[in-house]
Amino acid sequence: MPTPVNVAVIYYSATGTLTTMAKAMAADAEAAGATVRLRKVAELAPQAAIDTNPAWVANIAATADITEVTADDMTWADAVIFGSPTRYGNVSAQLKQFLDTLGGLWQEGRLADKVYSGFTASATSHGGQETTLLALYNTIHHFGGILVTPGYTDASKFVDGNPYGTSHVSGQGDLPVNEQTLTATRVQAERVVKFTRAIKAGLAV
């Protein structure tokens, strides 16, 4: 009987790209044998800003049934895969706000010794996907987390080209999540589950 693994996929999306990626990542982790919680972080933007963008309004409606993340999801998880759109080359404020609520758990050492990984999307191909993931990973080092990234461990990584984590170029919203990105979520999710299982089993000995 393989060691059971809990994976939380915790993400923010304004206009739906990260929603699609997060759902794929969650399905891939489940297919790899994990028990999965798909969780969105809270929206922080004022309604007036949301209302200027029909895609933002639509994504909020379309994700109404996705449970909002709580700190309990962090303690439950053996592995956490965070997703954030690239915002000026950085993590979105909404995901960062959730990370910033975790100081209590961090202080108790309850965010350490878990596996972490990340994924992102940007409008343009040199628009800061890698800086976003590296900025996210700064926090993981402070958690005492174990980063499991895809690297170039699969032939597909030489096609999508991002060893730091799955990343999608969405254009002006006109480039939907495609096969290349879905392959990347599968490779990343499988790797996260595999190493989480191995680490958990090893620590239990």
Ligand X SMILES: Cc1cc2nc3c(=O)[nH]c(=O)nc-3n(C[C@H](O)[C@H](O)[C@H](O)COP(=O)(O)O)c2cc1C
- By CB under 6 A, name the one of 88, 161, 176, 178 that touches ligand X: 88
Among 81, 121, 148, 187, binds ligand X (CB under 6 A): 121
Contact call for residues 60 and 1 (beta carbons, < 8 A): no
Identity of residue 70: T
- The distance of closest approach from Cβ of residue 12 to ligand X in the complex, given in angstroms and rounded to an integer, is 7
Tell me the number of residues near ligand X by CB under 6 A: 18
Residue 31 or residue 49: which is nearer to ligand X going by CB? 49
Q: Are 114 and 77 in contact (CB under 8 A)?
A: yes
Subset of 161-200 contacting ligand X (CB under 6 A): 170
β strands within the chain, DSSP E: 6-11, 35-40, 79-85, 115-122, 146-147, 167-169
Structural tokens at position 25: 């990542």
Is the CB of residue 28 less than 8 Å from the CB of residue 186? yes
DSSP code for 200 = H
The least CB distance from residue 76 to ligand X, in Å, is 24
- Is residue 66 at the binding interface for ligand X, with CB under 6 A as the rule? no
Pick from 23, 66, 75, 89: which binds ligand X (CB under 6 A)? 89
Stretch that binds ligand X, among 29-37, 84-92, 138-146, 156-164 (CB under 6 A): 84-92
Tell me the three state secondary structure of residue 157: helix
Q: Does 14 bind ligand X (CB under 6 A)?
A: yes
Q: In the bound complex, what is the minimum distance in angstroms from residue 105's beta carbon to ligand X?
A: 26
Q: With binding defined as CB under 6 A, does residue 118 bind ligand X?
A: no
Residue among 174, 172, 170, 152 at smallest CA distance from 161: 152
* Structural contact between residues 115 and 84, judged by C-beta atoms closer than 8 angstroms: no
Q: Which residue carries 């990260």 as its tokens?
A: 18
Select from 96, 93, 78, 55 the least CA-distant residue to 148.
78
- Write the burial class of residue 3 (CB in 10 Å: 0-12 exposed, 13-18 middle, 19+ buried): middle
Least CB distance to ligand X at residue 89 (A): 5
In the complex, least distance from residue 144 CB atom to ligand X, rounded to whole angstroms:
29
18 binds ligand X (CB under 6 A): yes
Residue 51 vs 72, nearer CB to ligand X:
51
Binder of ligand X out of 7, 10, 17, 183 (CB under 6 A): 17
Residues in contact with ligand X by the rule CB under 6 A: 13-18, 85-89, 121-124, 127-128, 170
